[in-house]
Amino acid sequence: MKNRYARKSILCSEKYYGRGFHSPGGYEVLDLLFKTLELDNIENVLEVGSGLGAATHYFNKYFGAQVIGLDLSQDMVDICKKRQTSDESKKVEFIQGDLRFTEFNKNHFDLIWIRETLLYIPENERKKVWNNFYSFLKPGGTLAIIEWCRERESVPDEVVEYRKTSNHHDQYPYELLSDLGNSGFTIFLLKDLTNLYVQNLKDGLNILQEMENEFKKDFTVEEFKALVERVELKIRAFTRRDFIMTLVKAKK
Ligand SMILES: C[S@@+](CC[C@H](N)C(=O)[O-])C[C@H]1O[C@@H](n2cnc3c(N)ncnc32)[C@H](O)[C@@H]1O
């Protein structure tokens, strides 16, 4: 985890995902998610696991919201801050911190957004996270979760190995929904985004392969190979549904 989200590795993955992103699909997918979630009256947003900040800024552009992006990786936060204009920093603030332990004002946010980050939180620590998020949201506020889940216990060795080396703790959707319900949330939407995710991964891989030479100006041949292998493994695993991508909308 430390190396995965250290500066060199972050910038290497960004070449694949696109500027500001550490998840596939770019702004097209963000637009689709915003529409699917039917978000409105969004004034204050907390994005946890904000990565390189593309979505964080987009909450401001799309909704005119005041936004906080929280990320564990100091390198991610430093890059975001360095790229920001002073005008942008009045509306979009990047903070380094662990989503398990960082406190915010109660009843403050209209939207808390977490994408491809929950999977780093071990099972026994999630309940506290949901309770915290519940208290940070305004009554009627929305929690949006776009996250890796699992569909079955038995998976190929490459997936077992991937989970271990990436320190992933994916869970069943019913476990996620049950935890949210127990923390007081009402579930409004549960959607399977796996097919879209696989397509986004494949599209990204095509673009990456087309810019192989450009990529190799900044990174090594080994880094290119490792990135391609990682993406190909994800494509295989999500296509077989060893992992699934789940969208949840829950409200306080
Ligand atoms: C796969 S990236 C996703 C980034 C962003 N959500 C996106 O869609 O581009 C996961 C992010 O979660 C952050 N992260 C992991 N564990 C965290 C924690 N405990 N608290 C806050 N951020 C965390 C990582 O540093 C990384 O930036």
Ligand 1 pocket member 116 (CB < 6 A): yes
Cα-to-centroid distance, 92 and ligand 1 (Å): 17
Q: Name the band, by pLDDT with cuts 50, 70 and 90, for residue 215.
A: confident
Whether residue 2 has pLDDT greater than 60: no
- Which superfamily does 7-251 belong to? Vaccinia Virus protein VP39 (3.40.50.150)
Return the minimum-mean-pLDDT range out of 1-5, 76-80, 147-151.
1-5
**Ligand 1 contact, 142 CB (< 6 A):** no
Q: Where are the domains of the chain?
A: 7-251
Q: Evaluate whether 72 touches 99 at the Cβ level (below 8 Å).
A: yes
- How do residues 150-176 score in pLDDT, each as one tens digit? 999 999 999 999 999 999 999 999 999
Q: How far is the CA of 146 from the centre of ligand 1 (A)?
A: 12
Is the pLDDT assigned to residue 3 strictly greater than 70? no
Q: What is the pLDDT of residues 169-213, one digit of tens each?
A: 999 999 999 999 999 999 999 999 999 999 999 999 999 999 888
| pLDDT (0 to 100) of residue 137 | 98
- Per DSSP, the residues of the chain read -TTTTSHHHHHHHHHHH-TT-SSTTHHHHHHHHHHHHT--S--EEEEES-TTSHHHHHHHHHH--EEEEEES-HHHHHHHHHH--TTGGGTEEEEE--TTT----TT-EEEEEEES-GGGS-HHHHHHHHHHHHHHEEEEEEEEEEEEEES-S---HHHHHHHHHHT---B-HHHHHHHHHHTT-EEEEEEE-HHHHHHHHHHHHHHHHHTHHHHHHHS-HHHHHHHHHHHHHHHHHHHTTSEEEEEEEEE-
Does residue 80 line the site of ligand 1, with CB under 6 A?
Answer: no
3 by Cβ neighbours in 10 Å (0-12 / 13-18 / 19+) ranks as exposed
Output the pLDDT for position 6.
78
Q: Out of 71, 112, 113, 146, give the residue to mutate to test ligand 1, the one with the largest number of ligand atoms within 8 Å of its CB.
A: 71
The verdict on the CB of residue 13 being under 6 Å from ligand 1 is: no
* pLDDT top residue among 216 and 74: 74
Q: Does the C-beta of 29 come closer than 6 Å to ligand 1?
A: no
And the tokens for 225?
Answer: 């190979």
Question: Does the Cβ of 98 fall within 6 Å of ligand 1?
Answer: yes
Q: What pLDDT does 7 receive?
A: 85
Distance from the alpha carbon of residue 49 to the mean position of ligand 1, in angstroms: 3
